[in-house]
Amino acid sequence: MSGFKAGFLWGGAVAAHQLEGGWQEGGKGVSVADVMTAGAHGVPREITNGVLPGKNYPNHEAIDFYHRYKDDLKLFAEMGYKCFRTSIAWTRIFPNGDELTPNEAGLQFYDDLFDECLKLGIEPVITLSHFEMPYHLVTEYGGWRNRKLIEFFVRFANVVFTRYQHKVKYWMTFNEINNQANFHEDFAPFTNSGLKYQPGEDREPVMYQAAHYELVASALAVKAAREINPSLQVGCMIAMCPIYPLSCAPNDMMMAMNAMHRRYWFTDVHVRGKYPQHLLNYFERRGFELDITDEDRQALTQGCVDYIGFSYYMSFATKATDDNPQLDYDETTSLVSNPYVQKSDWGWQIDPVGLRYSLNWFYDHYQLPLFIVENGFGAIDVLESDGTVNDQYRIDYLSAHIAEMKKAVVEDGVDLMGYTPWGCIDLVSAGTGEMKKRYGFIYVDKDNEGNGTLARSRKKSFAWYQKVIATNGEEL
């Protein structure tokens, strides 16, 4: 093979809560993203008890895609997008999450959005749950610590699969389901699973329980999709940060292997429909008694995913230490800085080769088609007086990653479906809630405090990516 296959899905990726705004439009309910304030690098976003007056909630307005999507999609079409990855805000369809019937105005919004995409020749790629579950499910049910959420999620999935089956072929269930491996911090448990911990609570088993219910819900959704329409393709979505050993010391290597086990077992369950033995042994050693029933095990085997969607931004590194004889991985304390790579302004390690490694790692392990559904460089952009942004650093980052992706396809034989860089239009950062951490080919005039006209303009990277798509990745 000389390059990317015909029909390769070039495009861009976003998530509803990070760009739509319109947080109370069309009957939408309050989501977990609506109760998170703006933070910064090193300043965590505050999770408030409901929406409080006087706080800055950047997702409420975001970049107002809700009202401006027609113009934004035209810009994506101008770049030549074959696909557009976004999510369906669960709270537009089931405002509280536990209703029996969906909200028609919310369903209509996505009908219109998908029709507009299709009119422009852009195939929608849809995530069901991307850090925006109904906040009501947190306050009334404790989030995904509660088994009842399986039923609510599967109802939501059934409604949207049925409604959009002729408009949307490619789906993903839970965005970056494995972020919650980072359970000591508040962000990932809350955004992945609507988990708020009591002071002193043992967080780890709660995380495993929530993830288990999500994996069962995902499997039931995959099964439902096949029953509704066998042409639907449902994938998982994994945040891939490959974890390297800091040295070739044997214990560093074992530490890295354990770290990979602890961060990526989610993929095993999604793809193979069962838990890896190392994790079952770990549960036993730690005395975690989880609610995993025979019925759940059965469901998992019947809902294995069709492809693996993943994000790739950076690699991690780890090393063994004397105070950790079991070589257990703890995402808060076990990561070390890699001396061979540079970092972004937000401390994310820049490692294009890590993308080739990740593609090979996934394909060796699972032999399923892969889809890179996020990749990108969060940076501070400067708007020039003529309205352009000279973001050569973004072009450098993306072209280096695409070059490695091409090696994985051409030289290594990985089956890759497509590539959708993250935040193809500037949007609210998930991790920090900032606007100034920008990823887009399209600049949006808005700052961290929420000031700005929301006007859109093309950055230098816009024409560059247009050419990449036009040449099917031949010209970087």
In angstroms, give the least distance from the CB of 14 to ligand P53. Answer: 8
| Subset of 107-136 contacting ligand P53 (CB under 6 A) | 131
Residue 46 pairs in a beta bridge with: none
Crossing angle, helix 352-366 and helix 250-272, to 10 degrees?
A: 60
- In angstroms, what CA-CA distances link 97 with 380, 409, 416, 434? 36, 41, 34, 27
| Closest residue by Cα to residue 393 from 405, 379, 406, 410 | 379
Map residues 15-34 to x or -, x wherever contact with ligand P53 holds by CB under 6 A: x--x----------------
Helix axes 250-272, 277-286, angle to 10 degrees: 110
Q: Among the candidate windows 38-46, 73-81, 172-180, 440-448, which touches ligand P53 by CB under 6 A?
A: 172-180
Q: Where are the alpha helices (DSSP H) in 234-293?
A: 250-272, 277-286
Rg (CA), the chain: 21
Active site residue 176: no
Nearer to ligand P53, 59 or 233 (CB): 59
Rounded Cα distance, 160 and 244, in Å: 39
Report the nearest approach of ligand P53 to the CB of residue 241 (Å): 7
Structure tokens, 448: 């961290």
> Which of these, 185, 209, 144, 202, lies nearest to 331 by C-alpha position?
185
Helix (H) or strand (E) holding 170: strand 170-174
Q: State the binding string over 200-239 for ligand P53 (x if CB under 6 A, else -).
A: ---------------------------------------x
| Binding status of residue 311 toward ligand P53 by CB under 6 A | yes
- Candidates 86, 129, 175, 178; binder of ligand P53 (CB under 6 A) is 175
Number of residues in contact with ligand P53, rule: CB under 6 A? 17
Catalytic residue chosen out of the listed positions 374, 434, 449, 474: 374
Residue 268 found at the interface with ligand P53 (CB under 6 A): no
Residue placing its CB nearer to ligand P53 in the complex, 61 or 78 = 61
Subset of 234-263 contacting ligand P53 (CB under 6 A): 239
Which residue, 4 or 84, has its beta carbon nearer to ligand P53? 84
Closest CA to 359 of 400, 315, 409: 409
Number of H helices, E strands in the chain: 14, 15
Binding mask 419-458 for ligand P53 (x = CB under 6 A): ---x------xxxx----x---------------------
If one asks whether residue 399 binds ligand P53 (CB under 6 A), the answer comes out as: no
Contacting ligand P53 (CB under 6 A), which of 20, 331, 374, 381? Answer: 374
CA distance 203 to 199: 10
174 touches ligand P53 (CB under 6 A): no
Q: What residues are labeled active site?
A: 374
Q: Which residues bind ligand P53 (CB under 6 A)?
A: 15, 18, 131, 175-176, 179, 239, 311, 313, 374, 378, 422, 429-432, 437
